[in-house]
Structure 1
Amino acid sequence: MPHTASTHAHHDQLSRLLDLDAIIHRSVTERAVRALARHARKADVTTVLDIGAGTGAGLFALATEFEDAELVAIDLDERMLDDIRGRAGRQGLGGRITSLRADVGERLFDAGDADVIWSSNALHEVPDPALALANMFRSLRRGGVLAIVEMVAPPLVLPSEHASLETLLRLAAGADRNAPDWTTDITAAGFELLETRTLTSGQRLAADGPGGAYAALELRRLAQHAQPELSDESARSIREIIADLSGEHRLIERVHVRGARALWIARRP
């Protein structure tokens, strides 16, 4: 696919949204990593795979938790992997973190053998999740631990006085569908399910900081999907809020970011 200006703009917007998501939901990621670590013997963990690494939020939390392990960032987006390699170098982790451009949904997927596999907000993007989970099973050593994380639904970001408009936007964008439940798929792939949980977060954040920037990007993303279903008046109101969060801050001084992530932890017998 040619790298057009719109392709780069989409990448930059997605990368920025993921970077802000990592900041806003850092505590959720860290809680998920700690839950995973409770099922793994740290002394035995030498290799960790992050499948669908994105901007590396999970990867760097894993690097802190498993301080003696080597980590591999796996993604299809070479620019994301470039960003991870640069960040790893700046943090002095270049010797521990490598990258691999690969598709876990391909039959010839080969990332070597690992003691831990982490995959966050990625499995739902794969056309054949059963094949992806089979590849993860094959990539784990016996006794290795798998963690799958999915966003339960796009986060709510606006304060209560704008709740009706946000609800309308989410309905128009089809954003209130629940995340898939991977429980049956994980066990069908041969894993022993160890734990499932839902990790929630709720934060009131200043609109002139990362919280406001995150809310603006999330609303813009939803608005792009919702546009054909919105009335002119609703579309105009949403544009005004996005513009306000993007720099004016007359309408909204604080955002209220609420969300939930589903976590599955399993072991290869």
Structure 2
Amino acid sequence: MTTKHPHTSHDSTQPGTHRKHEPGDQAEILDLDAEVLAEHTASITAWLPLKTNPRHIVDLGCGTGAGTFALLDRFPEAHVTAVDTSAAHLKQLRDTACARGVEEHVRTVQADLDDSDWPDLGSPDLTWASASMHHMAHPDRALSNVHGMLAPGGLFAVVELAGFPRFLPGYAPEDRPGLEERCHAASDSFHAEHVPHRGADWGPMLAAAGFTVEGERTVPVHIEGARSEAVGRYALGSLQRIRGTAAESLSSEDLAALDQLLDTDSPHSILHRDDLAVRTERTVWAARRA
């Protein structure tokens, strides 16, 4: 999801202070997230407790289309309304839809989901929100809007990651073991203040909005870096973003070690490591409108 703030599909960040540490292109990070976690996203779409295949799907905070295309892979006859605030991301999504030959099944809508009045998104059978609800300044209002637009009996799927993934083993880097956990701790302090709904239990909030929560599932993610060269680039982009929120709280020694990992010209670059793995969890809540 892209909002008025510099949010990504994970969390909002601030750029680093050095050229080599500036976050990579946001669209690239979203695409890497989609590529690396594709199997896990497919397992979630297959799990959804749908009574019939949806004809109309709304993807809230769609980014460059990870959810949109995973849902179309699962439900090829459906039509998806993809909603985001970023015109650039929506253009990329449309281009991808054309390249895949599914442009007739995709409609894009540029809108800020924190606005009190949403555009007309129709009456979908399924609404999907992946890594976007925790960015909402007013999640209760957003949940109410979703409840109001869903077709009777429609399903709302809320998918959230457990923060940024971990990539490095605990002994790395060798001169500053445990560095990644310290970076996460520093970044978590920032997000506790600026993204207070990250890590929330959406079940009670969905119930308070009038939904019946029919299922909750946590999907563990552990992907060895040897399976895909994209894991290295995904790790690089994610740690670049963590640097933006953690730098002020890190010791000078930790910051220097992190900068070595992020320096793609360094022999110590994270891109040269052969011990990376993506470790995180995804939780999905499936809630029905009565």
TM-score (norm. length: structure 2) = 0.83
For the residue of structure 1 that corresponds to 2:25, the secondary structure is: helix
Q: Letter of the aligned partner of 2:281 in structure 1?
A: A
Q: Residue 215 of structure 2 aligns with which residue?
A: 195
- When residues 54 and 250 of structure 1 are mapped into structure 2, their CA distance, relative to the original with a 3 A threshold, is closer
SS of the counterpart of 1:161?
coil
Offset at residue 245 of structure 1 (A):
8.9
Which position in structure 1 is the counterpart of 2:136? Answer: 126
Q: Distance in 2 between matches of 1:238 and 1:221?
A: 12
- SS of the residue 1:95 aligns to: helix
Residue of structure 2 equivalent to 1:79: 88
Q: Could you say if the C-alpha distance between residues 78 and 10 of structure 1 is closer, same or farther in structure 2, counting changes exceeding 3 Å?
A: farther
Residue 92 of structure 1: how far off its partner (Å): 0.5
Where 1:155 maps in the other structure, the secondary structure is coil
Q: CA deviation at 1:98?
A: 0.9
C-alpha separation in 1, matches of 2:231 and 2:87: 27
For 2:178 and 2:30, how far apart are their aligned partners in 1?
26
Change (3 A) 1:250 1:222: closer
Instruction: Choose from 36, 44, 61 the match for 1:32.
Output: 44
Distance 1:202 1:194, change over 3 A: same
Aligned residues: 260
SS of the counterpart of 2:164?
Answer: coil
Determine helix, strand or coil for the equivalent of 1:112.
coil
Question: Which residue matches 1:205?
Answer: 225
Pick the aligned partner of 2:29 from 1, 17, 22: 17
Secondary structure, in 3 states, of the residue corresponding to 2:238?
helix
- Which of 184, 190, 193 does residue 170 from structure 1 map onto? 184
One-letter identity of the residue aligned with 1:131: R
Provide the residue aligned with 1:92 in structure 2.
Answer: 101
Higher RCO (CA < 8 A, seq sep 6+): 2
Residues 90-239 of structure 1 aligned to structure 2 (within 5 Å): 90-109=99-118, 110-162=120-172, 164-174=178-188, 179-206=199-226, 209-239=229-259
Cα distance in 1 for partners of 2:99, 2:248 equals: 44
* Superposition deviation, residue 12 in structure 1: 5.7
Distance 2:236 2:141 in 1: 36
Rounded to whole Å, the distance in 1 between the matches of 2:228 and 2:63 is 25
Distance 1:49 1:74, change over 3 A: same
Cα distance, 1:10–1:182 mapped onto 2, change above 3 Å = farther
Please list every run of 5 or more consecutive structure 2 residues that lacks an aligned counterpart in the other structure: 5-14, 16-20, 193-197
Q: Which structure features the higher share of strand residues?
A: 1
Q: Which has the higher helix share?
A: 1
Deviation at 1:194, TM superposition (A): 0.4
Question: How much does 1:249 deviate?
Answer: 6.3
Match of 2:7 in 1: none
Q: CA deviation at 1:41?
A: 0.5
Structure 1 residue runs of 4 or more that deviate by more than 4 Å after TM superposition:
9-12, 175-178, 244-251
Tell me, yes or no, if structure 1 residue 57 matches structure 2 residue 78: no
Change in 2 beyond 3 A, CA 1:56/1:169? same
**Residues 79, 244 of structure 1: CA spacing in aligned structure 2 closer, same or farther, 3 A cutoff?**
closer
Q: Is the 8 A contact 1:137 1:190 kept in 2?
A: yes
| Change beyond 3 A, Cα 1:19–1:10 | farther
Confirm or deny: 8 A CA contact 1:172 1:229 kept in the other structure.
Answer: yes
Corresponding residue number in structure 2 for 1:254: 275
Alpha-carbon offset, residue 103 of structure 1:
2.6
2:24·2:237 contact (CA, 8 Å) conserved in 1? no
| TM-score (norm: length of structure 1) | 0.89
SS at match of 2:236: helix
Shift of 1:135: 0.7
Counterpart in 1 of 2:12? none
Task: Report the 3-state secondary structure (helix = DSSP H, G, I; strand = E; otherwise coil) of the residue aligned with 1:71.
Answer: strand
Aligned to 1:183, the other structure's residue is in SS state helix
